[in-house]
Amino acid sequence: MKFIFADSLDFVDPRYDFLADRSPPDREVYWDDKFPHELLGYAPYDGILVSRSIVGGHAIQGKYNQSQAMRFRRVGVREFHRFREPDYPNSLVFGDCGAFAYHKFEEPPYNAEDMVDFYGDGAFTHGCSVDHIIFDFEELTPEQERDYQESQEERAKENLRRFQLTIDNAADFLQKSKRLDNHFTPLGVVQGWSPLSMAKAARVLVDMGYGYLAIGGMVPLRSAQIHKALDAIRDEIGYNISIHILGFAKADEIADFSPHRISSFDTTSPLIRAFKDAKQNYFLPGANGRLEYYTAIRIPQALENNTLKRLAKAGVYTQEDLQKREQAAIGSLRAYDRGKAGIEETLSLIMDYTKPFAFGRDQGHSEAEERKLSGIRDRTRHTLENRPWQRCACAVCSEISVEVILFRASNRNKRRGIHNLAVYGKHIKRLKEAKYNDRSINIQSHQSAAE
C-alpha cells in the first residue's frame, strides 16, 4: 500500500527567523525553500500527487504562479519538486485533474488529449482519466438503483450525466495514453452516487482494459460509506485489479481499510490538520498501532491577526495591551520549554491572550463560551504537560523545538504539518510490517499444521 502525498506547493523557508518572525530579505520563494522531503532529508511518502487544477492555467486559477507553472511544464514533476528518481528510488509521481476545482462547471475543462500531454510533459508515472465529481451518496438496493436511473429528478439526471461523461472520458484516455511509453500507468476514475453505481463504473472500466482504478468523490464521505463503496467494488471486480483512493481524508483510519487491499491512496490530511483541525494538530505514534494527537498552542501575531487588528481598531483592546499579552505568552512558553517557567503561570499567560482572539473580551462569557474556553484550557494543559515536541526526533522538532507546537505563522504551521507527515509515514510503514509479520506467522502455523 503506497502512501502518496498530494502536494500543493507545501514548502517552507529553511532560514525563517522564529524570534523575529520573518524570512531573510533575500529569500527567493520556491528556489530557497524546502519541500517536505528536502526538509526532512528523506521522503516520508512513497510518492507525490500533483493535480492539474493546482498547477493551474487558462481554465482554472491554480496555486502556482505563472513562472512556476511554466517551469513545471518545462522540467516535469520530479525536477520541479526536486524529487528526482536517483535520490528517491522507486518513488512514484501521480497526477490527476483535481476535479473538485471544477465541480461547478458543466464540463471538465480538460479532455483526454490535454491530460495525456500533461502527464507526458510532466513525466508522471501514474495518471488519472478525466472525471467529473458526483457529490451525492446514497445506499440504494438494486431495485432503488433501477428507479434512480429512470428518475426524472434533476439531481439524478445530472449525476447520471456525470457518470457517463466520466466513463466516456476514461475510454478516450485509455486509448490516447497508449502513446506514452510503458513507464506510464493509466488509472480509470470511478465516480458514482451509490456503492452499486460505483461497482458498475468499476466493472465497465475493467472491461475496457484498466488494471488500476482510482476511486473519486471520497472526500466528503464518512468512513462507513467508503467501506460500503469499496465492498461493492471489490464484490464486482475481485482482488486482481489495483485500487487507488483519491483524496483520502480518513488517512489515520487506514488500518481499518486493509481488508479492501488498497494499492495506494493520496492524502494531504497529516499536513493540513496541523493548521485546519480544531483539536488534533500534532501527531505522535501512540499505543496499539494508533496515532496520538495534541492540540497546537495558538499564539497568533498581534499585528497580523485580523480579529486582533479589528479589536484594536474598535478600541476594545489597545494594540500595546495585545502585544504585551502576546509576548508574555510566547516568552513563557519558550521558558517552559527550557524548564525555566512553571506550567500554571505559562497556561495562565496563554489563556490571557486566548480570550481576546477567541471571544473579543476578557469577561462576561456565555455558558457556551465558558465551555469552549475550558476545552481550550484543558487541551493546552494536556499539550504542555506531555511536551510532545521534546519526544520527537524528526528534523523539524530537533531543529525548532517548542516552535513546532505554536499555532502561529505559516512557517511554523507547515513545519508542524511536515512533522506530521514524518510521523504518518512511519505509521504506515509499521502497519505494513505488522501485516507482513501477521502473514508470515500465519504461513508458519499452516506449515506446522501440515507437518
Q: How far apart are CA 242 and CA 249, in angstroms?
A: 20
Least distance in angstroms from the C-beta of 281 to Zn ion: 12
- DSSP-derived secondary structure letter, 111: -
Q: Rounded to the nearest 5 degrees, what angle is found at the Cα of 328, between the Cα atoms of 326 and 332?
A: 120
Q: Which residues of 305-334 are buried (b: 16+ CB within 10 A; e: fewer)?
A: beebeebbeeeebeeeebbebbebbbebbb
Is 7 a known active-site residue? no
Least distance in angstroms from the C-beta of 342 to Zn ion: 25
Q: Residue 52 or residue 419: which is nearer to Zn ion going by CB?
A: 419
Q: Residue 49 or residue 392: which is nearer to Zn ion going by CB?
A: 392
Q: In the numeric block, which cell numbers belong to residue 287?
A: 499505543
Q: Of 13, 33, 266, 337, which one is the catalytic site residue? A: 266
- What residues contact 81, with CB distance under 8 A and at least 6 apart? 7, 35, 48, 50
Task: State which of positions 358-397 bind Zn ion (CB under 5 A).
Answer: 392, 394, 396-397
Q: How far apart are CA 138 and CA 439, in angstroms?
A: 36
Strands 291-294 and 297-298: unpaired
Task: State which of positions 417-446 bind Zn ion (CB under 5 A).
Answer: 419
Q: Is 238 helix (H, G, I), strand (E, B) or coil?
A: coil
- According to DSSP, the residues that pair with 189 across neighbouring strands are 214
Least distance in angstroms from the C-beta of 345 to Zn ion: 26
Q: Is 299 helix (H, G, I), strand (E, B) or coil?
A: coil
Q: Residue 198 or residue 397: which is nearer to Zn ion going by CB?
A: 397
Q: How far apart are CA 83 and CA 451, in angstroms?
A: 49
Least distance in angstroms from the C-beta of 440 to Zn ion: 31
Q: Of 7, 33, 46, 96, which one is the catalytic site residue? A: 96
Whether 189 contacts 217, CB under 8 Å: no
Q: Rounded to the nearest 5 degrees, what angle is found at the Cα of 167, between the Cα atoms of 179 and 150?
A: 165
Place of cell 497529516: 270
Task: State which of positions 262-281 bind Zn ion (CB under 5 A).
Answer: none
Place of cell 511554523: 412
- What residues contact 393, with CB distance under 8 A and at least 6 apart? none
Q: Which residues of 260-278 are buried (b: 16+ CB within 10 A; e: fewer)?
A: bebebbbbbbbbbbbbeee
Q: Is 381 helix (H, G, I), strand (E, B) or coil?
A: helix
Least distance in angstroms from the C-beta of 284 to Zn ion: 8
Residue type, 266: D
Least distance in angstroms from the C-beta of 38 to Zn ion: 16
Strand (E) or helix (H) holding 333? helix 319-337
Q: Residue 126 or residue 427: which is nearer to Zn ion going by CB?
A: 427
Q: Residue 218 or residue 394: which is nearer to Zn ion going by CB?
A: 394
Whether 25 contacts 13, CB under 8 Å: no
- How many chain residues bind Zn ion (CB under 5 A)? 5
Q: Residue 36 or residue 356: which is nearer to Zn ion going by CB?
A: 36
Q: Residue 137 or residue 283: which is nearer to Zn ion going by CB?
A: 283
Q: How far apart are CA 140 and CA 146, in angstroms?
A: 9
Is 96 a known active-site residue? yes
Closest CA to 178 of 258, 119, 265, 111: 119
Max Cα–Cα distance, the chain, nearest Å: 84
Q: Give the per-residue contact string, 121-160, with Zn ion (x = CB under 5 A; - = no).
A: ----------------------------------------
Q: Give the per-residue contact string, 54-93, with Zn ion (x = CB under 5 A; - = no).
A: ----------------------------------------
Q: Residue 196 or residue 396: which is nearer to Zn ion going by CB?
A: 396
Active site residues: 96, 266
Enumerate binding residues for Zn ion (CB under 5 A). Answer: 392, 394, 396-397, 419
